[in-house]
A = this chain, B = another copy of it.
């Protein structure tokens, strides 16, 4: 296995992993009462650091745990035999990675760190056991999975029915919302992924992504400097999605 070693953590530290974590509002325990969260001792089996460009898991790895992003960010992708890549998602702090592995006990996509990151390891056996005891955990976990399905439907909509600029506008609005939820600026942020990765996610070539960025800038919607994005006219971006005249 090409995996890095699990970061050793004291049993004491992990006992309070969730109850002490400031990502509660974004992560699995979202919506659970403090009392219920206190029951999650032992849910997290460890932590793991993953360096930029390293894999958290690969297609075919046996599935044992899901992961909660603590810091950093990831992409997940699937490959075709001839090498074509499809990025299926980008994950930020508090988000859960690895749900794809449950169905066959083996991972069906790759998860790669976009920057130096670390994750909580949630052994799936722990999660299922605790879920049978803590009703709210069970329900939250089901919501997390369902949310992933709903998100995937949104991506299908995007890939199947939108044109290039609509796709990129949807992407930027989505990123903005997720940064906001994490206490960062809604208008100014740093993308961790390349134009090629954005393109793969959106079903476009990197040149098309680059051109759409430039067009948005010409139209005064955003300011682009490489990976640094400033949204100048969020209404204009949203109007692109609803096919309304831009404000």
Contacts and interface: CB of A to CB of B under 8 A. Distances in A.
Interface in A126-143: 128, 131-133, 135, 138-139, 142-143
Interface in A90-146: 99-104, 108-109, 128, 131-133, 135, 138-139, 142-143, 145-146
Nearest to A152: B152
Interface residues of A, number: 47
A191 interface: no
A81 interface: yes
A36 interface: no
State the majority secondary structure of interface residues on A. Answer: helix
A131 B139 CA distance: 11
Contact of A243 (B82, B88, B99, B132): B82
A132 to B, nearest CB: 5
A78 B149 CA distance: 13
Interface stretch (A14-22, A155-163, A179-187): A155-163
A109 B161 contact: no
A42 interface: no
A242 interface: yes
B146 A101 contact: yes
A202 B160 contact: yes
A6 interface: no
A52 to B, nearest CB: 23
Given A80-B157, A100-B150, A128-B135, 5 more contacts: A100-B146, A102-B145, A104-B150, A132-B138, A149-B152
